[in-house]
Structure 1
């Protein structure tokens, strides 16, 4: 993992006895290639096999070692054929139940023999049972051997067993015991925590008196020691990116603001105080000679796009181009329409580029971009090789977590002019919990638009079982007959876009039959961009009263007359996505409704999500809950690499440590600069997601 720790631990796992190419390949799937990697492959939990429990003292759910004498062994035929072995030890009796067994195994259990076994006690037909316990036959006069340590249970890959993993880690621990390990986290920073070497030894081999509860809850000092170091490594890697970024040059934008004023004069409403504050923060950044890297967070409908437009005009007035990149074609189209509407009256040209634009139409847009179109809007097609900007001064990335960090950086590279880089503005309507932002976006400055435009009426959210679907359809008919419009959203089915689109088509056909008096449209991910755009335009113009859609309408669609949103199977979506969808209604002053049409029975998580949606419309509160329920990998998107695959730290569980982590990272930077690279290398190694930017 690192050439900066003891050399013997850097040796490949194939140096260990019994590890050949086939086993090394299985270990590689777990990210284990060196002896040090094995040491940092930490137990997920522990079993206590250090003492024998009298059978009479066992309670339901206990994981126990028992020693008993075989009373009977018989094959029973119920719903599943099973081998039942009854044991007694003088304090009580218990059954062992095996569903997978052979004749030789059955014949092993002769009456009167003694058996030592380990398993979890569950209620059965005749009292407590151990299902498929680990066992061995023992002699009555044989001393009762138990384990010297709590037994670790490790994460595994296919083809690996717990016993094999324990054997390998025991070999690695033998090397660790004879090695001096450099502590890159100075003891002066955390004098109350054990050393790295002591922590690793204890976590792989906890003594019998180790507090199991503390270990299971990740509250043991040895775990804290490793959690702190891993979080610090994560933080340092992001701060390194920030440092590298700030070492670059950027164009200085100091302008009169005349274009900005022209735009504001044509708007039918004033900016909110929060929009004004965030615009000032952005313009202050862009007046400096180092590249801006600012994240703008704002709840659904807070007016982020207008803030982005004002920022864009600052760059355009200075004689530069602006690129806006969105994750989906539907959102990119919405931005293109908004920017065209705002910039055309100012005499400014907006170019458009998406992956599905082909032939002459595509070439025309490429020429416009190369010839200096002031504003360029598109999807990830913007950083394809053929795209050449004339003078890119500002890159605006919407919904950053849908892109990988490297995609954002490759757009920055496209705009490089000599030693100058474009400024970057990153927007998200998915509020990121503060704790997560501290770790996931430590390389960014953050602005929050925490004020909604006046005149918005809160959305009323109701949850109904899908057995009441008929009532919901009648409610939609009534609303649409009064001149309102509605969405009906069909959610993801088993992660299959094809099945999702089929579900939307089936729902569309059903609603057409049942609501013959309404004009109904359909939008899903497999339609051509032009088809989608046409349907959306008709819906926006009120030529369609009801729009059946998949989650493609999650962001970017703004139809103030739409006052009702039905979300089918909301239990399949994360909270932030539900909040995004709900934000498509309530865009005007009319009372709006969101109906969560769920399928019973609901899981505990499903109930929790629906409950949160009914209780609050605060995006930041919803984001915190979403993080709790789904974890950082899901909330940020899987492409935000590194955060979801930590070895021991967990951003949700360990968020209370993040302030301390930030302080420690800054102290390391100030007082121990030579320790930074080894710490990052030890924990992130070749996977350091920002190392090459």
Structure 2
């Protein structure tokens, strides 16, 4: 078999005993090919020395110099500061927070050091925090590295040096290209793909004449060869998942359309063309006995909820139940109010099930669900033991990137009857750029609501330094005295609920004192759900003029009279979160404003983000820019399957590869299913997504 060499256990390598085998297994590495394809995260350039005078903030660099002075301090915590000079009239500070006495004794004035680390701006000029360093003999010249140094993803108990050595041993057993290559020659024809064997050897040990700039940018032909196969494995795994779902059955939810017609007639507005188009796509899916797996993307305020309500009515008309699951109680309660307002006049029970529903209320809700209540709204509580649906036909998951794969599976399995599973409708208000969507969601059919309902007013965004805080407060006073309402959102880089709540409390005291004529409310994640709901209801009713809040209000709050939002420390938030927050205003007929309050100095990245927010309110344009600034990793959230974690590929950089990836992927699945399985196993292995998720 061609892959026999790659499937040999790692215990055959020198030094791999039971303890190391266990450590390697934590990284998902059990056979030789796992080491071959455990690719460097990045490279360190230790091939040259950079004069201290030429160091640039933010760059990693290798320097050599003599210790001028050493200072030990204990303000708050122990600290060791070492001043290093190299004769260039500039000094670099090395700062250590964790050090031993013997280490401090070694770093004495006059000692000659070679250091590698990231250059930062400190209180007294440039510094490196915890650099790697070695002490050099006073007079002997020390050679620099001849090649770039690979840095691998690792785990506790496995250092870079040991892991690198294991990979080199594994590479000695790398077979020839014919045994290694899994993409048939007929499919590779016309593609400029390098040899897979040579690509692996190159990225693990770049030769002295390697193009350093290409390697550091990830565009070297060797990296592109590996990126192509990694993107292909990801695409194949999602397509296999989609095919596995298609092999299952689902109840056809056709219905007679009567409930949907009554809801549309009762709405005070007509659906947009985009809502009608997406609604028709969902209705066509639901009529099929093949499970729907559709993602609906829609910008903040585009009207996804009414589209989901129409889908739920299709299920109810066909004698089935629909469940809507949201990631937070605040968002779930927003859906509950909306759906009860729409569906109860049609004679449909909308049951509420969340963690805070306890005692008799919980028993009553569970009984209603088991008896066949048409629509059930809730949080993770929907998936708990003891929740039994009579006949779940449609599972709706809102903001799905906040849920893990187990949670999606658990909700779907609540409606499993033998081989039959419910249809799944996934909603997101986070616009995903097309490039990312076609790769990240190859297992989903994607619909886009790309039109805002009439009556939504554009939001004017201004960027203001914190020094003008008094002007911003005056602006809030003027808006509220005219009968409008305002949000003041407090954000912290330390995203713990306690610290966020404390920051919000300080701001609440400040604004209450500055605006004595206005009622100022406070909502944060540490409030009890009942208190939070009461505050939000009071704000919605107009009893509170200014609401000080943490980012808990990012999604799911609809107060049409709120026309002004201030986001404090806006430079600390990503574009997607800023856009979500801003979407809380502009929901009525009054011109609305968003003030992005920042603390100078701004980093280049923060400046670029705030500029994008000032220029556009188009969620898809913002998402494209977010992808450009941050890369794909964060855009899909951070939980389990929400993550796009590639070893070498980068969706934005490697977008040009995607058409060929998709073409070859389809050909492999059609004519070479066994090879497709082996490509997925090679790159994804044990971390492949659960079938049917």
Question: What's the TM-score, normalizing by structure 2?
Answer: 0.87
1:39 is aligned to 36
Quote the offset at 1:628 in angstroms: 2.4
Number of the residue aligned with 2:3: 5
Deviation, structure 1 residue 671: 2.5
**Given that residues 315 and 394 in structure 2 are in contact (C-alpha distance below 8 angstroms), is that contact kept between their aligned partners in structure 1?**
yes
Structure 1 residues 523 and 49, CA, compared in 2 at 3 Å: closer, same or farther?
A: closer
SS in 2 for 1:632: coil
CA distance in structure 1 between the partners assigned to 2:310 and 2:82 by the alignment? 72
Compute the displacement of 1:163 (Å): 3.6
1:116-127 map, 5 Å = none
The answer as to 2:556 corresponding to 1:556 is yes
Aligned to 2:591: 591
Higher mean Cα deviation, 516-525 or 39-48?
39-48
Which residue in the other structure is 2:340 paired with?
340
Map 1:495-644 to 2 at 5 A. 495-641=495-641, 643-644=643-644
Report if the CA contact (8 A) 1:84-1:96 is conserved.
yes
Query: Residues 272 and 453 of structure 1 are in contact (CA less than 8 Å); yes or no, is this contact kept in structure 2?
Result: yes
Equivalent of residue 15 in structure 2, options 14, 18, 24: 18
8 Å CA contact 2:177–2:197 kept in 1: the answer is no
> What residue in structure 1 maps to residue 441 of structure 2?
441
Kept in 1: contact 2:113–2:133 (CA 8 A): no
Distance 1:118 1:519 in 2: 57
> Partners in 2 of 1:539 and 1:85 — Cα distance?
60
**Residue in 2 that maps onto 1:112:** none
CA contact (8 A) 2:68 2:110 kept: no
CA distance in 2, matches of 1:210, 1:620: 38
Secondary structure in 1 matching 2:641: coil
- CA displacement at 1:30 relative to structure 2: 4.3
Displacement of 1:290 after TM fit? 0.7
The alpha-carbon distance between structure 1 residues 456 and 173, as it changes in their structure 2 partners (threshold 3 A), is same
> Contact 2:576/2:622 (CA < 8 Å) preserved in 1?
yes
SS state at 1:690 partner: coil
Moved more, 178-187 or 520-529: 178-187
For 1:499 and 1:602, how far apart are their aligned partners in 2?
23
C-alpha distance in 1 between matches for 2:60 and 2:449: 52
Q: Using the TM superposition, give the Cα deviation of residue 437 of structure 1 relative to its aligned residue in structure 2, in angstroms.
A: 1.1
Q: Report the Cα distance in structure 1 between the residues aligned to 2:595 and 2:644, rounded to whole angstroms.
A: 32
**1:267 is matched with which residue?**
267
Contact 2:401 2:642 (C-alpha < 8 Å) held by counterparts: no
Report if aligned partners of 2:5, 2:32 keep a CA contact under 8 Å in 1: no
Deviation sequence 1:636-673 (CA, Å, 0-9, x none)? 11114384432211223323322221112112112322
Task: Go from structure 1 to structure 2 and tell me whether the alpha carbon gap of 1:388 and 1:107 turns closer, same or farther (over 3 Å shift).
Answer: closer
Q: Which stretch has the larger CA shift, 360-369 or 601-610?
A: 601-610
Q: 3-state DSSP class of the match of 1:635?
A: coil
Q: How does 1:52-201 map to 2 (within 5 A)?
A: 76=69, 150-158=148-156, 160-176=158-174, 181-190=179-188, 192-201=192-201
Moved more, 231-240 or 157-166: 157-166
Question: Structure 2 CA distance, aligned partners of 1:475 and 1:65?
Answer: 51
C-alpha deviations, 1:244-288, integer Å up to 9, x for none? Answer: 111111111223211111111111111111111111111111111
CA shift for structure 1 position 26:
5.1
The runs of 5 or more residues in structure 1 that have no matched partner are: 110-114
Q: Does the aligned pair in 1 maintain the 2:557–2:584 contact within 8 Å?
A: yes
Shift of 1:525: 1.4
Question: Which secondary structure does the structure 2 equivalent of 1:512 belong to?
Answer: helix
SS in structure 2 at match of 1:636: coil
**Residues 446 and 94 (structure 1 numbering): CA distance in 2 closer, same or farther, change over 3 Å?**
closer
Q: Which residue of 2 aligns with 1:394?
A: 394
Change (3 A) 1:481 1:372: same
Contact kept? 1:237, 1:691, Cα under 8 Å:
no
1:418-453: per-residue Cα shift (whole Å, max 9, x none)?
332111111111111111111211111111111111
What residue number does 1:253 align with?
253
TM-score of the aligned structures, taking structure 1 as reference length: 0.87
Q: Is the Cα–Cα contact under 8 Å of residues 5 and 174 in structure 2 kept in the other structure?
A: no
Distance 1:41 1:63 in 2: 23
Q: Secondary structure at the match of 1:189?
A: helix
More deviation, 416-425/445-454 = 416-425
2:83/2:91 contact within 8 Å kept: no
Shift in CA distance, 287/503, structure 1 to aligned 2, threshold 3 Å: same
Q: Max radius of gyration: which structure? A: 1
> How many equivalent pairs are there?
667
Other structure's SS at 2:526 match: coil
Alignment check: 8 A CA contact 1:59 1:121 kept: no
**How much does 1:16 deviate?**
2.6
Q: Deviations over 1:87-132 (max 9, x none)?
A: 9xxxx999999999688898999xxxxx998979999x9xxx9x97
What residue is the counterpart of 2:408 in the other structure? 408
Match runs of 1:641-656 below 5 Å:
641=641, 643-656=643-656
Deviates more, 1:216-225 or 1:144-153: 144-153
Q: Counterparts of 1:318 and 1:554 in 2: how far apart (Å)?
A: 35
- Whether contact under 8 Å (1:117, 1:136) holds in the other structure is yes
* CA apart distance, 1:681: 0.6
In 2, Cα distance between the equivalents of 1:105 and 1:514? Answer: 53
Q: Per-residue deviation at 1:630?
A: 2.7
Aligned residue in 1 for 2:77: none
Q: What secondary structure sits across from 1:463 in the alignment?
A: strand
Distance 1:424 1:487 in 2: 35
Distance verdict in 2 for CA 1:120–1:610, change over 3 Å = closer
Structure 2, unpaired ranges of 5+: 73-79
**Alpha-carbon distance in structure 1 between the residues aligned to 2:41 and 2:523:** 44
Give the conservation status (yes or no) of the 8 Å contact 1:292–1:423: yes
Query: Aligned partners of 2:600 and 2:692: how far apart in 1?
Result: 48
Superposed CA offset, 1:510-532 (max 9, x none): 22222221122222112222222
